[in-house]
């Protein structure tokens, strides 16, 4: 199953950027994403903890804390998945008596680490502003 949390988080931040004069609510965002507002609140909570969004007690909605050009997609990825979580995971406990099982983890770790580095490099080169610019190109 594909995970869409990064895409939905970029969607949330894009709506906040495009509606900068007002606070966007989880219900408004949920309508745009076409999902339940609980899903939106979970993600906005992570984005707030990472300092990408802000809210005020008693006032519905969120706002960006910095300009879209100062927010990389890697910042968003780290906010949602954490700093150390890899895109890939390796199955646990392969059979050590098997020729492949004994070596698969170290082999895949090397390959997956290279791919993870490439993904992070590309995400760091793209900003939320790049996404906004592409939305209306």
What HEC string does 24-61 produce?
A: ECHHHHHHHHCCCHHHHHHHHHHHHHCCCEEEECCEEE
CB atoms inside a 10 Å sphere around CB 68: 19
Q: What residue ranges define each of the domains in the chain, with the CATH number in brackets?
A: 5-86+127-135 (1.10.10.10)
| Residue labelled with tokens 């992570």 | 46
pLDDT (0 to 100) of residue 84: 66
Angle, helix 5-18 to helix 73-81, in steps of 10 degrees: 120
CA distances from 63 to 31, 54, 60 (A): 17, 5, 10
Determine the 3-state secondary structure of 88 from DSSP. coil
Q: Report the predicted TM-score, pTM, of the whole model to 2 decimal places.
A: 0.86
pLDDT tens profile 29-84: 999 999 999 999 999 999 999 999 999 888 889 999 999 999 999 999 999 988 76
Q: How far apart, in whole angstroms, are the C-alpha atoms of residue 15 and residue 29?
A: 7
pLDDT tens profile 1-36: 458 999 999 999 999 999 988 889 999 999 999 999
């Amino acid at each position: 199953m594909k995970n869409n949390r990064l895409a939905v988080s970029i969607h949330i931040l894009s709506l906040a950027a495009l509606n900068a004069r007002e606070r966007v609510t989880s219900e408004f965002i949920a309508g745009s994403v076409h999902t339940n507002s609980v899903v939106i609140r979970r993600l906005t909570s992570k984005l707030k903890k990472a300092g990408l969004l802000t809210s005020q007690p008693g006032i519905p909605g969120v706002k960006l804390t910095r300009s879209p050009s100062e927010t990389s997609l890697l910042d968003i990825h780290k906010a949602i998945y954490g700093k150390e979580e890899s895109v890939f995971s390796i199955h646990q406990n392969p059979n050590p008596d098997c020729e492949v099982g004994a070596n698969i983890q170290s082999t895949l770790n090397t390959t997956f680490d290279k791919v993870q580095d490439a993904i992070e490099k590309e995400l760091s080169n793209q900003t939320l502003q790049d996404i906004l610019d592409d939305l209306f190109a």
